[in-house]
């Protein structure tokens, strides 16, 4: 074998092996360089996008500059306002210590708040607009391929969110927090001046102006706060806070009055008297002082927001229990029918009428429609009820005509009641009120009414009562008792009508007639009773037997026995009779004494010795002169009797038991 050939083969093998090794090493190197090449690829792409504007035509790049400047300028202004808002946080969110925050320097706080509100309005108006301008320039750049599309896409999403941001996002909730602090200050100011109003002592001027219970400075602050809160949509919250605070003040003021009597009023007109007096004073206080001061405060605080003020006051007034007061008046109107009820109805009507202008001023708005409606209904009930009872009075007097007269000859309760009642109706308290009620009632029927018609109606009642006298007097079986009854009744008329309103209307001639009737029946009473008794002690026949003492003694005994028997019977009977009037009683007793005692004294002085010397003298001489005088002076004393009034007969024919027994004697008047 050729050694030269072998050497060449070996060399070729080594060369081939070395080439394989280098190829293998290069493959490994290429494998390791792959990711790096990919990074370079990506970097080249990004570099290409970054330098694309440079590669863009110079004219397009030059045209884009002004557009970009105009789009960025509004956004820069918005960012500047955002920075200003951030600077308002410390003064608005500072704690309410003295001299700082809403509780300290309120005007300064509101001034800062005004800046925030202005910034808020600017942001609300311009934030979306600035975002829209930026979105437009992004679209402009994208359309002209002047920027990276992926970058522009991400930027577009962000700008879409900025076009309509939530209100709280504009200032990070700063305005809401500031308004909440103002609400807290509003409530604090109300709470700091929430003392209840005390009712003035009896005798104080009821209609005098009520001083404001909330200082003017506090009212001014409340108004300033309210205006800002209402302007920022917090009206409902303010109204709720105000109603809660002032309603609590009103409720506390009412609790101090003690109004339990309003809940369960009596159905008896007489028993309603004390409660009605309280009702009248309390209603006047509530309307003219408590609610009037609340209305004034409400008007001052709410200022130009008149509709809100009206609605707010209506809610406060509802807590004043005005409807409860009206329901009590309704209970009076629904009480049992009774003459006294007429006075109660007039008292309620008078109170409401005196407060009519106050009611119209306080409750004239739509928000107080229920109070208006119930007041109108109550007034109609009061007028209808009062007129009905007044027109029935004469009928009721006539119905009593057939009732038996007092068995003791005293003044019938009907007489005492009607005299006093009609006097009150024509007095200063009731006459104008009753006249007004009758005028209104007649106007509803398109009829006229005047004061003279009222007077005539009362006179007709009195005349109907006079007509009862003769009927009652004839009902007595004993004529002497009938005289006593007429004497008592006519004297009661004269005595209790003289120098009165009713007496003035009736006139002096009418009154003197009753005085004359009294004198007539007094003389008839003395003559027919005690005058006849004194005639039993006559001296007829005693002179004829003056020389015969035994015969004279027997005649004296017989006459004394007859006198004693008649005296005992008359004294026993008349001891149950009464003369209510003290002066008339004393005069009558004096006349009786003058009729009997002088005659008895003279008789006993002249003829008493004829029988006094005998052992059975006491059988005939039963009374001493002084004893007889004392017995006669003690007659006709009134006795206690139960109260009552005349009855009201309903259309059904049944007699109401509200006030009964007027036909009985008024023997305890004096």
Tell me the average confidence (pLDDT) per consecutive run of 10 residues in the chain, 670 residues long: 61 67 60 55 52 56 60 58 57 55 73 68 58 58 59 61 56 75 89 88 54 81 88 88 92 90 84 90 93 91 87 86 91 89 94 93 85 94 95 93 93 93 91 94 91 92 93 95 96 92 91 95 95 85 58 82 92 95 96 94 85 74 91 90 48 36 37
Handedness of CA 628, 630, 632, 634 (dihedral sign): negative
| Collapsed DSSP state (helix, strand, coil) of residue 665 | strand
pLDDT given for residue 483 in this prediction:
97
pLDDT given for residue 662 in this prediction:
42
Q: Which residues are within 8 A (CB) of 67 and not within 5 positions of it... i.e. 6 or more apart?
A: 137, 140
23 by Cβ neighbours in 10 Å (0-12 / 13-18 / 19+) ranks as exposed
d(Cα 6, Cα 579) in Å, to the nearest integer? 185
- The string of DSSP letters for 345-375 reads HHHHHHHHHHTHHHHHHHH-SGGGHHHHHHH
pLDDT given for residue 292 in this prediction:
92
| Collapsed DSSP state (helix, strand, coil) of residue 181 | helix
pLDDT given for residue 289 in this prediction:
93
pLDDT given for residue 668 in this prediction:
33
pLDDT given for residue 230 in this prediction:
87
Upper half-sphere CA count for residue 45 (Cβ side, 13 Å): 6
Here the tokens at position 589 are 């007793």
pLDDT given for residue 544 in this prediction:
46
Q: Which residues are within 8 A (CB) of 13 and not within 5 positions of it... i.e. 6 or more apart?
A: none
Cβ(500)–Cβ(537) below 8 Å: no
Upper half-sphere CA count for residue 634 (Cβ side, 13 Å): 9
pLDDT given for residue 264 in this prediction:
82
Residue 655, strand partner residues: 649
pLDDT given for residue 87 in this prediction:
53
Other beta carbons within 10 angstroms of residue 306's beta carbon come to: 11
């Amino acid at each position: 074998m050729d050694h030269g050939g072998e050497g060449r083969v070996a060399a070729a093998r080594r060369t081939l092996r070395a080439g394989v090794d280098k190829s293998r090493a290069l493959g490994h190197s290429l494998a390791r360089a792959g990711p790096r090449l990919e990074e370079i690829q990506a970097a080249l792409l990004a570099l290409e996008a970054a330098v694309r504007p440079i590669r863009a035509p110079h004219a397009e790049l030059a045209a884009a500059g002004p557009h970009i400047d105009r789009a960025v300028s509004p956004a820069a202004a918005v960012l500047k306002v955002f920075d200003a808002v951030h600077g308002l946080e410390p003064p608005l969110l500072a704690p309410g210590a003295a001299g700082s925050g809403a509780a300290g320097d309120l005007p300064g706080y509101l001034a800062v708040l005004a800046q925030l509100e202005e910034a808020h309005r600017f942001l609300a108006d311009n934030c979306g607009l600035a975002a829209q301008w930026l979105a437009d320039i992004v679209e402009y750049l994208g359309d002209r391929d002047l920027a990276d599309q992926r970058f522009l896409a991400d930027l577009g999403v962000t700008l879409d969110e900025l076009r309509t941001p939530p209100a709280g996002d504009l200032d990070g909730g700063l305005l809401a927090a500031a308004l909440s602090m103002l609400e807290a200050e509003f409530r604090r100011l109300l709470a700091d001046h929430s003392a209840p109003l005390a009712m003035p002592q009896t005798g104080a001027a009821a209609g005098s102006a009520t001083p404001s219970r909330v200082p003017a400075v506090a009212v001014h602050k409340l108004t300033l706060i309210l205006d800002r809160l209402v302007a920022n949509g917090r009206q409902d919250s303010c109204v709720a806070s105000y109603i809660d605070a002032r309603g609590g003040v009103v409720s506390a003021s009412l609790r101090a009055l003690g109004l339990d009597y309003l809940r369960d009023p009596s159905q008896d007109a007489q028993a309603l008297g004390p409660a009605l007096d309280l009702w009248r004073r309390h209603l006047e206080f509530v309307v003219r002082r408590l609610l009037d001061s609340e209305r004034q405060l409400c008007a001052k605080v709410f200022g130009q927001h008149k509709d809100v003020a009206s609605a707010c006051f209506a809610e406060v007034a509802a807590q004043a229990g005005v409807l409860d007061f009206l329901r009590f008046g309704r209970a009076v109107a629904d009480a049992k029918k009774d003459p006294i009820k007429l006075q109660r109805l007039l008292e309620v009507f008078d109170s409401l009428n005196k407060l009519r202008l106050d009611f119209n001023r306080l409750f004239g708005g739509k928000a107080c429609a229920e109070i208006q409606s119930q007041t109108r209904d109550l007034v109609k009930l009061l007028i209808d009820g009062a007129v009905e009872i007044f027109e029935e009075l004469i009928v009721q007097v006539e119905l009593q005509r057939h009732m038996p007269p007092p068995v003791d000859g005293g003044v019938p309760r009907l007489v005492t009641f009607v005299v006093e009642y009609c006097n009150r109706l024509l007095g200063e308290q009731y006459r104008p009120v009753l006249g007004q009620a009758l005028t209104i009632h007649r106007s509803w029927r398109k009829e006229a009414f005047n004061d003279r018609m009222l007077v005539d109606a009362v006179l007709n009642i009195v005349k109907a009562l006079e007509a009862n006298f003769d009927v009652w007097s004839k009902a007595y079986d004993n004529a002497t008792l009938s005289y006593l009854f007429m004497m008592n009744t006519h004297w009661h008329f004269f005595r209790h009508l003289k120098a009165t309103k009713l007496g003035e209307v009736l006139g002096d001639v009418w009154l003197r007639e009753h005085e004359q009737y009294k004198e007539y029946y007094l003389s008839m009473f003395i003559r027919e009773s005690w005058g006849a008794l004194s005639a039993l002690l006559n001296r007829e026949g005693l002179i004829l037997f003056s020389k015969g003492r035994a015969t004279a003694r027997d005649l004296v005994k017989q006459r004394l026995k007859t006198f004693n028997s008649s005296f005992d019977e008359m004294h026993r009977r008349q001891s149950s009779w009464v003369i209510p009037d003290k002066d008339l009683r004393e005069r009558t007793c004096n006349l009786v004494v003058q009729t009997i005692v002088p005659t008895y004294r003279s008789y006993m002085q002249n003829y008493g010795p004829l029988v006094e010397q005998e052992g059975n003298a006491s059988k005939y001489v039963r009374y001493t002169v002084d004893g007889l005088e004392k017995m006669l002076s003690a007659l006709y004393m009134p006795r206690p009797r139960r109260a009552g009034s005349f009855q009201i007969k309903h259309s059904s024919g049944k007699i109401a038991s509200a006030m009964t027994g007027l036909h009985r004697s008024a023997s305890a008047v004096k």
